[in-house]
Amino acid sequence: MYKTKRKLIDITGPVGTCHLGVARNARVSDAVLHSTWNVQGHRSRYFHALYDRIQAGQVPLDSHGSDMVLWRHSENDNKSCFSSSKTWEQIRNRKATVFWSDRMRAWGVQQSCVLCVEIDETWDHVFFACPYSFTVWERVTNRLSGARTDPDWTSTLQFVSVNSLQIMDKILLKMAFQSCIYHLWKERNERWHHTGFQTVDQLYRIIDKAVRNRITSLRYKADHKLTSLMW
């Protein structure tokens, strides 16, 4: 397996790839010719060290094995297994905890659920005791989970993490779970700020499209063996 770490364009910048004679949208195979690296730059005053490093690297050949699809767990950690928590850490926008976090609840002020008008909104209520959120979650996963769909957060998390589904169904379930959590919370926030209101059917279609687009993207990459030129 030819393991990659960083995109070439991230090292050289948008113009840097031109000095190495590599197109910005090139694949690793595009930088190989007759079983050797086809990279320029040894006479340029730019990127001498990078050029030498490329030449010293193993050339990706069919005889070295097939490409492998890896899931990114962190900046320099790619693994063959999927992790919902690691994926969430990669796509989330991190912000500092505000000083007033949870103060309203500590003062005894209850916040109602904007999805179903339940008097007291809690995490367990939103995921998925709320009739609105549970209906969305059930529609998204009914073909995978069947009668095992549960409104209890702990039971749902347990099922998503450990189940007897086939490997592809396991991945699909986790993708659906991530997308459902994201879009339900987004809908909740938009209602609080009066910027939108999606019905169950509308939100279901949004989540379904998001999952389908992700599957299509992964299938396209697998079919064409696309991989970035990274180090």
Q: What is the pLDDT along the chain (231 residues), one digit of tens a residue?
A: 344 456 777 777 777 777 777 877 777 778 888 888 888 766 666 677 777 888 888 887 777 777 777 888 887 788 888 887 777 777 777 777 666 656 666 666 667 899 998 878 888 899 999 999 999 999 998 888 776 788 999 999 999 988 888 888 898 999 999 999 999 999 999 998 888 789 999 999 999 999 988 888 776 554 544 444 334
- Structure token digits, residue 172: 């699909």
pTM above 0.85, yes or no: no
What is the dihedral sign for C-alpha 124, 130, 133, 135?
A: positive
Alpha helices in 40-91 (DSSP H): 48-56, 84-91
Distance CA 97, CA 109 (A): 20
Q: Which amino acid is at 58?
A: Q
Of residues 160, 180, 168, 175, the one with CA closest to residue 213: 175
Number of other residues whose CB lies within 10 A of the CB of residue 191: 15
Domain boundaries, the chain: 8-64, 82-224
Number of other residues whose CB lies within 10 A of the CB of residue 48: 12
Q: Which residues of 49-82 are buried (b: 16+ CB within 10 A; e: fewer)?
A: ebbeebeeeebbeeeeeebeeeeebeeeeeeeee
